[in-house]
Amino acid sequence: MSGRKIMVHATWAIGKVIGTKMQKTAKVRVTRLVLDPNLLKYYNKRKTYFVHDSLEQCTVGDIVLIKALSVTRSKHVKHELSEIVYKVGRVVDPLTGKSVAGTEFVEPLSDLVLEENISLSDKLTELNISAASDSPSVQTPTS
Amino acid sequence: MPMKGRYPIRRTLEYLQKGDIIFKKKVKIMTVNYNTHGELGEGARKFVFFNIPQIQYKNPWVQIMMFKNMTPSPFLKFYLDDGEQVLVDVEGKDCKQISQHVKKILGKSDEVLHAEAQAEMQASHPANFGPKKYCLRECICEVAGQVPCPSTKPLPKEMTGKYRAKMAQSQD
């Protein structure tokens, strides 16, 4: 009965892949914040979904965006993989587009000109001081 | 005996109900990436600490996920219903600025909220009588000062239908 229409709570969800041992299917854990009625504090409540992933591109630990399917694929699979948001070990910072490991960039940023060790003579040649005066118009006012 | 924890006011219903941001219908997922250390990410941390419970209380169907120390700079990402994604850079901002910005771009504006409140009020109009599900009162006998319900206390003879019919018949 693969033509059944699904009634799923959420059309979109984000979760972490916890298992890929099934063929073309990933097990994804989605956490939602649920209010504890007595403590009035939010805690993560987890739910696992079986997600269809036709290219088998997920590894355990990826953060993925899943989308509800219009027709259910099988008894348990009601979602499909939309995109891998953060691939484990190869996280790309969306603001700069560079690869990132934790709070550090993998390669140092190249647009910042960092101080290199220039020798003193090089610095002097840059300044270009010479004994002869350059501009003849510079004259000290004499009373 | 005071409440336990730091800033336990966050755990009061009054604080949660004071939440400002009500997302538009198309916002489905909100993701917050923030760092546990660093001066620039202080606003993001405060936002997560103070404002996230309020947002989740007012938007129970939006999935909110937090990620710590994944990228050098903090940001928010929203996933909308039509597949569109909204990225909000949050580095260096104050938590108040962040919530105002989010409210401006993806929250329902004050007029929309007002209009929705008005529409709800019309549903519970005090002048309408009917089933409890739709109206406030079922019969005028429920109102204090009106004729009580004949099921509890019989009506005076002059008000009953059969007496009136007999009087009308005897007059004709």
pLDDT by residue (tens digit) across B137-148?
A: 889 998 899 999
Tell which residue, B62, B50, B51, B57, has the closest CA to residue B24: B62
| Cβ contacts of B57 on chain A, cutoff 8 Å | 35
Same domain, yes or no, for A94 and A84? no
Mean pLDDT along residues A51-57: 91
Is residue A14 domain-resident?
yes
Span of A110-119, B17-26, B54-63 with lowest mean pLDDT: A110-119
Same domain, yes or no, for A48 and A68? yes
Q: Which residue did the predictor score with more confidence, A91 or A2?
A: A91
Is residue A130 domain-resident?
no
Question: Are B28 and A33 in contact (CB < 8 Å)?
Answer: no
H helix intervals, B66-124: 95-106, 110-123
| CA-atom Rg of chain B in angstroms | 28
CA distance A87 to A98: 13
| Domain residue limits at A106 | 89-125
Question: Are B11 and A40 in contact (CB < 8 Å)?
Answer: yes
CA distance B96 to B46: 9
Question: CA geometry: angle at A31 spanning B79 and B103, to 5°?
Answer: 40
Q: What is the CATH number of the domain that holds A56?
A: 2.40.50.140
Same domain, yes or no, for A80 and A113? no
Q: Which of A39, A93, A103 is opposite residue B69, by nearest beta carbon? A: A103
Q: Is the pLDDT of residue A132 over 60?
A: no
Same domain, yes or no, for A111 and A58? no
| CA-atom Rg of chain A in angstroms | 30
CA distance B146 to B26: 48
Q: Which of A31, A65, A105 is opposite residue B72, by nearest beta carbon? A: A105
- C-alpha distance from B154 to closest chain A C-alpha (Å): 47
What pLDDT, on a 0 to 100 scale, did the predictor assign at position A118? 61
Backbone dihedral angles phi then psi of residue A44, each to the nearest 5 degrees: -75, 130
- Please give the tally of structural domains in chain A: 2
Is residue A132 domain-resident?
no
A100 in contact with B at a CB cutoff of 8 Å? Answer: yes
Same domain, yes or no, for A61 and A119? no
What confidence category does residue B103 fall into, taking pLDDT thresholds of 50, 70 and 90?
Answer: very high
Which chain B residues touch A if contact means CB-CB below 8 Å? 11-13, 16, 28-29, 31, 35, 37-38, 52-53, 56-57, 61, 63-65, 67, 69-73, 75, 77, 79, 81, 83, 87, 89
Q: Which residue has the tokens 């909100």?
A: B30
What confidence category does residue A137 fall into, taking pLDDT thresholds of 50, 70 and 90?
Answer: very low
Q: Where are the beta strands (DSSP E) in A36-76?
A: 42-52, 63-68
Same domain, yes or no, for A50 and A16? yes
CA distance B113 to B120: 11
Which domains, and CATH codes, for chain B? 8-109 (3.40.30.10), 125-171 (no CATH)
Same domain, yes or no, for A8 and A31? yes
| Cβ contacts of B28 on chain A, cutoff 8 Å | 10-12
H helix intervals, B19-160: 42-46, 52-58, 95-106, 110-123
Is residue A134 domain-resident?
no
Cα B61 from chain centroid?
Answer: 12
What pLDDT, on a 0 to 100 scale, did the predictor assign at position B48? 95
| Cβ contacts of A49 on chain B, cutoff 8 Å | none
CA distance B78 to B26: 10
